[in-house]
Structure 1
Amino acid sequence: MTEAQFLRSLFDKAVEVANPMQSLADHLPPKPAGRVIVIGAGKASARMAEAVEAEWGPCEGLVITRYGYARPTQGIEIVEAAHPVPDQAGPDATARMLDLLDGCGPDDFVLALISGGASALLEAPAESISLGDLKALNAALLASGAPIDRMNTVRKHISRVKGGQLAAAAHPAKMLTLMISDVPGDNPAFIGSGPTVGDPSTSADALAVIDNWKMLVPPSVITALSHPTGVIAPDDERLRTTENVIYAAPAQSLEAAAELATMPVQILGDAIEGEAREVAAVHAALALSSKPCLLLSGGELTVTCRGTGVGGPNVEYLLALAIALDGAANIHALACDTDGVDGGAEVAGAIISPDTLQRAKALSLDPQAMLDNNDAHSFFAALGDQVVTGPTLTNVNDFRAILITA
């Protein structure tokens, strides 16, 4: 097995462990008597719904997932919508989901399936915010370089469904929310912007995020944030019948990958945040000073887009890593998003090897210029070193592996 094949096997294992068809059933209770409604949103939500019906049989419900991520279900309706910048399909499906919850009583049971991606798929913006303004806001958030929890703070306070409001809409029904975490620290309030989790933040906090990261957002967003919002406080009575459970998280995937290694393994952390190229510089220094081993890490890096490329935190991390390693003879690395999509490209990530820069030079590629232009995806496409998985139907955030050989 080559180094590249080994690194890819680690990534595949990380994804496999988070596959809802293998991991969700253990966290399902017996199917309750009476009316059961299954709702959900996220890149893994259709696969989660498929896993639920494999245990419970046909169910009433509706989940919203990304285009191309639908799965065959028996009773639960699967709606596809745009991600990461929403289209009209998301708000339309969200309105239908709220209609489905309208009139729920104390004898009803609602199962919510939430995974990364729900923030852009489950959309019910404040009435003053048009779809065009919602798209502009999401584009600004994604280009800002702000951490995911800060971005989701803004999203909650311009929404009528995030920040616990979906759970409030189902009250007084009993609700169980099963989550796949894609956020550093596994805070359920920030997974998919916490539609079933109370939140203590305020509109002022959201405005501070916009100001601190110098985001250019539509005036309607500022107007909406200037008025009290519907975000639900954690101690709100309407949340007392809701239980939130994270059943799959990045740490589990990193640990599963580590079990495949025959060399010493160091897990640097499952919640690493920061600008992709800056984290890469730190990891390069660590790799260059390490004895033979495998360095694993997860979390969610960010990219502040200043060029004309499509960004992508995993490929930007890798290109910066390759530049910093400068052809070190014994270091290979992989960085991929476990959902199969890195930034705005339908590519999971890429792999680098000691000859990456040499092969780039032979193709007249300028690594630093392409990094400065946020165009790492084009760099790795030209080299043929992209990792393309298609929809993985799960999402436990970024997966990074650096292999240091003797």
Structure 2
Amino acid sequence: MTPNPATEPRRFLEHLYNAAVRRALPLHNTAAFLPPPPKGRTIVLGAGKAGGSMAQAVEALWPADAPLEGLVVTRYHHIPPRPERLKSRIEIVEAAHPVPDAAGLAAAQRILAMAHGLTKDDLVLCLISGGGSALLTLPAEGLTLEDKQQINKQLLNSGANISEMNCVRKHLSRIKGGRLAAACAPAKVVTLTISDVPGDDPSIIASGPTVPDATSCAEAIAILQRYGIAVPGAIMSLLEQGALETPKPGDEIFTGHEVHMIATPQQSLEAAAQEARAAGIEAYILSDEMEGESREVGKVHAALARAAAHRGQPFAKPCVILSGGETTVTIRKQPEGTPRGRGGRAGEFCLGLAQALQGQGGVWALAADTDGIDGVEDNAGAFVAPETLSRALSLGMKIDKYLDRNDAYGYFRQLDDLVITGPTHTNVNDFRAMLVL
């Protein structure tokens, strides 16, 4: 039963979030895109936070008498429970996200090795979802895992958007940016992907290991310089020479390959909107492609909610305002000895939103990552209510100080307003919902 938005606003918003996640689960979306078994072998390769559930969906849907094998890497603790009677035919391993580790490196090496030696009678099913960039790490010649870890940390803290980060990652890898597809030749490659990026560009999702890359070494250099990202001098020289260029659109290695988007942020937002309307609340989707600093996006959302609450514009209340996309957090430098804040994009959005709402009556909000993990914490996101600021002040908590040290987790934990779901086994990125009554 749908919770009553007037009496249970938090449960109602959590209900919308759950509807969005449910729409993106692989088992609901995979069957229509599976090709028939080939004459030869079927190899399943993949990476991403949804990798475990995608692999299990293929196992459940693939003909029982048709050969199936492969290897997929997902984030630690993101392998869903295996249904009874579901035979394990695809190996699933775990690695670190968002900063790569040795387990991810070992998995990437094995996946690349499995791609070699295939024939034109073989089929490669590539299961790609968000998070694959960190999980499928195979540094370019001359780079160590430690180098990649440091570069990744710098990118994550820089405020660069996902397109910029993945442009760099593709050019510093031996498996991303179409290189995995090149290794699979001459086998047919069918990529099934769950989008976690604005615009649903498959070349950005997990840094596009099986699709052409239109970006260049020159663009990667510009991004590194724009954000002050340090890389070894030898690698910069290779970038300047174009020696780390990726396979481009039109390359014959991609001939006959297929790419299918099996779940997208827009589809999940529409599922949440449908649930709101079924409860008698009109729903409006702003966009599934929102980017920018999380706290600033929160302020913009607050302005819309306040306008709806005060003037019934641009949306008449009661209503739900939904948005998705992938915002960013630029980590602020702190004085020596100051404890570092904790939190992710969703929490920081909620801090910016609560600060700008200033206790506006009749407005509640929930922001959460659809994979169930906000950054590297154990929460999916956070919840904001009209009394959020006043409750915090009664505990001696000033929101400005928490914003200054990027400590959304600390702020909402003390209010018992963290949204904790555990891994959802899918990933269509940010989910934001505001209820205006």
Alignment TM-score, normalising by the size of structure 2: 0.90
Match of 1:42 among 43, 48, 56: 48
After superposition, the Cα gap between the structure-2 partners of 1:359 and 1:218, relative to the gap in structure 1 and judged at 3 Å, is farther
Whether 1:96 aligns to 2:110 is yes
3-state SS, counterpart of residue 231 of structure 1: coil
Of 253-262 and 69-78, more deviation after overlay is shown by 69-78
Q: Which residues of 2 match residues 142-181 of structure 1 at below 5 A?
A: 142-181=156-195
Structure 2 Cα separation of the partners of residues 3 and 46 of structure 1? 33
Whether 1:10 aligns to 2:16 is yes
Residues 129-178 of structure 1, C-alpha deviations (whole Å, 9 max, x = no match): 11111100110111111110010000000011111110010011011000
Structure 1 position 230, deviation (Å): 4.3
Whether 1:323 aligns to 2:323 is no
Structure 2 Cα separation of the partners of residues 329 and 221 of structure 1? 54
Structure 1 position 41, deviation (Å): 0.3
Structure 1 position 30, deviation (Å): 2.9
Question: 1:201 corresponds to which residue?
Answer: 215
Mapped contact 1:90–1:121 kept (Cα < 8 A): yes
Whether 1:210 aligns to 2:224 is yes
Question: 1:302 corresponds to which residue?
Answer: 328
3-state SS, counterpart of residue 409 of structure 2: helix
Mapped contact 2:76–2:94 kept (Cα < 8 A): yes
Whether 1:110 aligns to 2:116 is no
Question: 1:284 corresponds to which residue?
Answer: 302
Structure 2 Cα separation of the partners of residues 253 and 342 of structure 1? 18
Mapped contact 1:167–1:195 kept (Cα < 8 A): yes
Question: 2:79 corresponds to which residue?
Answer: 70
Mapped contact 1:43–1:339 kept (Cα < 8 A): yes
Residues 172-194 of structure 1, C-alpha deviations (whole Å, 9 max, x = no match): 10110000000001111101000
Structure 1 position 224, deviation (Å): 4.4
Structure 1 position 34, deviation (Å): 2.2
Structure 1 position 124, deviation (Å): 1.2
Q: Structure 2 counterpart of 1:121, which letter? A: L
Percent identity of equivalent pairs: 52
Mapped contact 1:128–1:224 kept (Cα < 8 A): no
Deviation beyond 3 Å, 4+ runs, structure 1:
216-221
Q: Structure 1 counterpart of 2:374, which letter? A: D
Say how many residue pairs are matched.
405
Whether 1:249 aligns to 2:264 is yes
Structure 1 Cα separation of the partners of residues 181 and 236 of structure 2? 26
Whether 1:87 aligns to 2:105 is no
Q: Which runs of 5+ in 1 are unaligned?
A: none
Structure 2 Cα separation of the partners of residues 147 and 313 of structure 1? 12
Structure 2 Cα separation of the partners of residues 351 and 32 of structure 1? 49
Q: Structure 2 counterpart of 1:14, which letter? A: A
Mapped contact 2:216–2:245 kept (Cα < 8 A): no
Mapped contact 2:44–2:90 kept (Cα < 8 A): yes
Residues 205-250 of structure 1, C-alpha deviations (whole Å, 9 max, x = no match): 0010111122344545434423411411111111113111111100
3-state SS, counterpart of residue 302 of structure 1: coil
Structure 1 Cα separation of the partners of residues 166 and 203 of structure 2? 9
Structure 1 Cα separation of the partners of residues 429 and 174 of structure 2? 26
After superposition, the Cα gap between the structure-2 partners of 1:220 and 1:378, relative to the gap in structure 1 and judged at 3 Å, is farther
Mapped contact 2:72–2:92 kept (Cα < 8 A): yes
Structure 1 Cα separation of the partners of residues 33 and 258 of structure 2? 12
Structure 1 Cα separation of the partners of residues 391 and 145 of structure 2? 44
Structure 2 Cα separation of the partners of residues 13 and 352 of structure 1? 19
Of 339-348 and 104-113, more deviation after overlay is shown by 339-348
Structure 1 position 31, deviation (Å): 2.8
Mapped contact 2:341–2:405 kept (Cα < 8 A): yes
Structure 1 Cα separation of the partners of residues 36 and 59 of structure 2? 12
Structure 2 Cα separation of the partners of residues 61 and 126 of structure 1? 24
After superposition, the Cα gap between the structure-2 partners of 1:263 and 1:201, relative to the gap in structure 1 and judged at 3 Å, is same
Of 119-128 and 27-36, more deviation after overlay is shown by 27-36
Structure 2 Cα separation of the partners of residues 188 and 247 of structure 1? 11
3-state SS, counterpart of residue 397 of structure 2: coil
Mapped contact 1:303–1:311 kept (Cα < 8 A): no
3-state SS, counterpart of residue 259 of structure 1: helix
Structure 2 Cα separation of the partners of residues 226 and 388 of structure 1? 45
Whether 1:135 aligns to 2:167 is no
Question: 1:19 corresponds to which residue?
Answer: 25
Match of 2:284 among 266, 277, 289: 266
Question: 1:235 corresponds to which residue?
Answer: 250
CA RMSD of aligned residues (A): 1.3
Structure 1 position 108, deviation (Å): 0.5
Structure 1 position 99, deviation (Å): 1.2
Mapped contact 1:173–1:241 kept (Cα < 8 A): no
Q: Which runs of 5+ in 2 are unaligned?
A: 334-339
